[in-house]
Amino acid sequence: MNNAIYDPSGQKLAGDSGLPEQLSPEVLHSPMPVLFEGCLFSKLDNGQISAVRTEEASLKMLSKAGSMGGVLNKDKLLLGLLMGQFKGEETKEACNRLHYIFEKRRISISIALIEPKAPEAEELLAALFVQGEAETLRISDRELALIYDCTDEQDDVIDLCGAIRESINNELETDAHIGIGSVCEHADGLAGSFDHAQAAAGVGRRISFHGGVWVYSRLFVELLLADLPKESLIRQRLSLSHLAEVIDEDTTALLEELFAQNFNISKTARRLYMHRNTLIYRLDKLEKTTGLDMRKFDDAVALRLFIALERLHK
């Protein structure tokens, strides 16, 4: 599945390079949702436009969700919420009809499977959660959407997704890129959250040949770089190529954890099962070999860019 987000004028803000940089007038002037040249275009509450390209059968299913043909059921409601098919008061009305709580803290998660095993993964997820804790929806034969009641901290959600991935590895003998979207306080925010989840999973596919758990809020640099032309990525990587000679995989993992813990030395050391002094020693050694001090903003940005460029290049 490919996806992108456009501003109200049709200019692409972020997303996969296979989708157009500028939407055609035919799309912009059509009532949305609209299915056009293999993509489903939907208007979000903030005026932005989301684009999704996937299997034709799935696109037809998604485009029908907005019209709500036939009887509105739980699956149609959830699909409509994720695709942003309800507008304004329609969202509350639809939720009330099916007794789906409108004001509730939730988060959207995209599970993109390496192999087409969505039915089996759906059964697996049903067994992992108690009733009402999470809602699972099959998007295609390779993707599931999970709407999770987010009462936990973000790190707990990451651990949860890690456990889901491990279960998929063990039980289904395949892997998955799991994208975690943004937390929303109301049901009408699920569409934006799911866009973010899909974008995170999409970037994850680009920077890892295997699966992984990818958090949208922690992928800002990768999301920006992923939309650059390949030539620009190569040029930017060459400007930092001297770092590749001295930064190995272990150091990269250390730096990533340090970024994830907002430069908190003690928390990073605990997460890496490392003594605090050992971590400080390794950072001092890194400064001597690269000339970059993680305690300085510009140097930290350079290292963050290097890691992102290396992953996107690979």
User: Residue 230: which H helix or E strand, with range?
Assistant: helix 230-239
- Parent domain of 95: 2-223
DSSP labels for 1-51? -EEEEE-TTSBEEEE-TTS-SB--HHHHTSPSSEEETTEEEEE-TTS-EEE
296 and 262 belong to one structural domain: yes
Q: Is the pTM of this model over 0.85?
A: no
pLDDT for 68 beyond 70:
no
146 and 285 belong to one structural domain: no
Confidence of residue 167 (pLDDT cuts 50, 70, 90): very high
215 and 287 belong to one structural domain: no
Determine the residue type at 232: S
Short-list 160, 166, 122, CA closest to 140? 122
284 and 168 belong to one structural domain: no
Structure tokens at 140: 């295609």
Last residue of a domain, one of 191, 223, 255: 223
172 and 127 belong to one structural domain: yes
Short-list 313, 297, 304, CA closest to 237? 313
Distance of CA 75 to the CA centre of its chain: 22
14 and 110 belong to one structural domain: yes
257 and 214 belong to one structural domain: no
What is the C-alpha separation between 31 and 149, in angstroms, rounded? 32
The number of domains in the chain is: 2
Distance of CA 250 to the CA centre of its chain: 25
Express each pLDDT in 195-227 by its tens digit: 999 988 988 887 776 788 889 988 887 777 777
Short-list 269, 125, 111, 106, CA closest to 192? 106
202 and 233 belong to one structural domain: no
Structure tokens at 168: 């998929």
CB-based contact 76:68 (threshold 8 Å): yes
CB-based contact 80:70 (threshold 8 Å): no
CATH number of the domain residue 185 falls in: 3.30.70.270
129 and 233 belong to one structural domain: no
**Residues contacting 1, CB < 8 A, separation 6+:** 52, 53, 54, 112, 139, 140, 142, 143, 198, 202
Confidence of residue 314 (pLDDT cuts 50, 70, 90): low
254 and 305 belong to one structural domain: yes
Last residue of a domain, one of 168, 203, 223: 223
What is the C-alpha separation between 300 and 303, in angstroms, rounded? 5
What is the C-alpha separation between 199 and 121, in angstroms, rounded? 21
Last residue of a domain, one of 163, 190, 223: 223
Averaged pLDDT for residues 254-259: 83
34 and 167 belong to one structural domain: yes
CATH number of the domain residue 258 falls in: 1.10.10.2840
pLDDT at 179: 94
285 and 200 belong to one structural domain: no
226 or 122: which carries more pLDDT confidence? Answer: 122
pLDDT > 70 in the chain, percent = 92
